[in-house]
Amino acid sequence: MAEKWSRYLIPGPYEDLEMLHAAHAEPRLRALFPFTSHGALMFSRCTGFPFSQDISAIHPLGDPRYGVHHRGEPFSREPDYTAEEAAAVVVARMSETWGPAAAGTQHDLRDREDQ
C-beta atoms surrounding 63 within 10 Å: 7
In the chain, the number of structural domains is: 1
Neighbouring C-beta atoms of residue 113, cutoff 10 Å: 10
Residue 88: domain span: 2-114
Beta bridge partners of 37: 40
Is residue 59 very low, low, confident or very high in pLDDT (cuts 50, 70, 90)? very high
Distance CA 49, CA 34 (A): 12
| 94-112 residue pLDDT tens | 999 998 999 999 999 989 8
What's the predicted TM-score (pTM) here? 0.91
3-state secondary structure 92-115: HHCCCCCCCCECCCHHHHHHHHHC
Q: What is the pLDDT of residue 14?
A: 66
CA distances from 73 to 8, 18, 54, 67 (A): 27, 25, 11, 13
